[in-house]
Amino acid sequence: MEEKRMVGPSRPLIVLFGSSIVQLSYFLNGWGATLTTCYARKADIFLRGYIGWNSRMALEIYKKIFPKEHCRDKHKEIQPSLVILYFGGNDSQDPDFPNSSHVPLHEYVENMRKLAHHIKGLSKKTRLIMLSAPAVNEEQILKTYGDNRGRSNEVGRKYAEAGVKLGQELGVPVINFFEALYGKPGVFWDGMHLTAEGSKILFDKIKDVIKKADWEPTLDWDKMPTEYADIGTDMHLEMMIKETEDETIEITDSESQELKPQ
């Protein structure tokens, strides 16, 4: 029997599951890193991101990442309180592109349906947020890679719309990742993957869902208890983040002035 390891005390678990948008979510002050900061001393975040993967690949391993058998034993408390699920960008790739990760639209929808049903069935307290397929910057992809990587907004929009429709059908909060990014400058560093600004847009969308949800128990970090709050001092998180942002802006502005031609 596989040994179960755990670091105490027990906290709510949040899992980020998806492809490169998830794996790189700690890169460049990414949305995963920001979530981890917000949930410091309140919840643990597990990163399960796989660059280049599609929904078909996810079906090969999802039961290993989210084993249901824990629901039937004393370890049921390790089931996640929240899963943020993202696949679709690679699924929407042109099937004729070399080594394409393309998955036909109808299959993509059914794959996501299976993943969502499984995750929702992990426990009564497990919540799910789905992200649709994203927009891309086609011109920037071409400039970065010399080809379009098999990605286009025309096809990506169809996968995004299908993902949003599925989420609504399942009664699951779903973020229209396509509309959140489409046509916005500075949100990608290569035309597909998020800059800090792109991650901020996604984080704000996730934050809105979490704060507006009537989940019990709440997963709003501002309303969750702080671990060991009775020991030592605890700087107000938002104040600390604001001060850090101010210092970063000040440094950046200063450096920008130095780099400007005289």
Nearest to 178 by CA among 195, 154, 197: 154
Give CA–CA dist 86/16, Å, rounded. 8
The rounded distance, in Å, linking the Cα atoms of 49 and 249 is: 30
Widest pairwise Cα distance in the chain: 70
Catalytic member of 19, 25, 55, 101:
19
The answer to whether residues 15 and 43 touch, using CB atoms and an 8 Å cutoff, is: no
In sequence order, what are the beta bridge partners of 85? 17, 130
The residue from 20, 55, 101, 193 that is catalytic is 193
DSSP element (H, E) containing 164: helix 153-170
Annotation says 193 is catalytic: yes
Residue 230 annotated in active site: no
Kindly give, in sequence order, each residue whose CB lies less than 8 Å from that of residue 22, ignoring residues fewer than 6 positions away.
16, 32, 47, 48, 49, 50, 84, 86
Q: Of residues 44, 94, 190, 220, which has the active-site annotation?
A: 190
Is 19 among the residues known to form the active site?
A: yes
Q: List residues with catalytic annotation.
A: 19, 190, 193
